[in-house]
Amino acid sequence: MAGPAVIAASVGGVVWVLAGVLLGVVLWKTGIAVLRALSQPPMPPPEPGELRKVNVRYRCGVCGMELKLTLAPDEDPPAPKHCLEEMTVVAPLYD
């Protein structure tokens, strides 16, 4: 007849095996989900007349006026003019 220590050791081994199988299933499902996400084609670009979301800030070098551009027809919009000169791009302070 088996003693309590032998039974506890066998139960502990079964728990470790079940935990390993569960971890393997989770990793397998996660890997399949990542591969499916990567195999999807990228979203098509918006139509030529539609505006895109951008976050670009400009500053006038003459008077110091700042402008935040949030929508533009291009991903890289041309700099606007202020005080008859092109504004310079500045890094956002609090984004």
pLDDT digits (tens, 9 = 90+) for 36-74: 999 998 878 777 778 888 888 999 989 989 999 888 887
Sign of CA dihedral 62, 68, 69, 75: positive
CB 65 within 8 A of CB 58: no
pLDDT of residue 3: 63
- Answering whether pTM is above 0.75, one says no
